[in-house]
Structure 1
């Protein structure tokens, strides 16, 4: 079987990712040809990082302090939202670029 035919699938129970299995793309949405073999969620999937950029002229000229305030509010909303209990920690950093 070709390597590109295999992918990871999340096992979701309710609103929580409880495990990961290897999915055979040739057998739609079935893990390991029907034999589900769960593994722990890999560490590289427990950290979420991203980059935000804007072409809006007003926002593009905001100070670093204003962007840090937006980042801090996003972290507070994430921690206090419906999935807040699913996070060990959250942080937001603004680079000076």
Structure 2
């Protein structure tokens, strides 16, 4: 099996999640560590732990509809739906997986 330089680089710089309880608290990258290091390497410079990148802390989205009745809803009606979704994120079955949630209607 031929290994390209890119594959060797990817193998040398594996990323793992640092989990405390049920929360991902950081990202661990192994650099030039053995393939099975998995963030347990004790050699200085082989393991780097960084915070979770901000682009992975936010979920953004757009909702659009072609339903003629819903398309004509007022901003207040849409805000009511959005508020209900926020409550479900906070208190529903996935509530423990969200630190906070907010949404706006433009």
Q: TM-score, normalised by structure 2?
A: 0.57
The answer for the alignment partner of 1:28 in structure 2 is none
The reply on whether 1:53 has 2:98 as its aligned counterpart is no
- Structure 1 runs (4+) deviating above 4 angstroms are 5-16
Unmatched segments (≥5 aa) in structure 1: 23-31
The RMSD of aligned alpha carbons is 3.2
Identify the range of structure 1 (57-66 vs 9-18) with the bigger mean alpha-carbon deviation.
9-18
The answer for the alignment partner of 1:83 in structure 2 is 94
Q: What is the DSSP-based 3-state SS (H/G/I as helix, E as strand, rest coil) of the residue aligned with 1:93? A: coil
* 1:41 CA displacement: 1.6
Decide which structure has the larger Cα Rg and report it.
2
Pairing of 1:35-46 with structure 2 (within 5 A): 35=37, 36=39, 37=47, 39-46=50-57
Q: TM-score, normalised by structure 1?
A: 0.61
* 1:39 CA displacement: 3.7
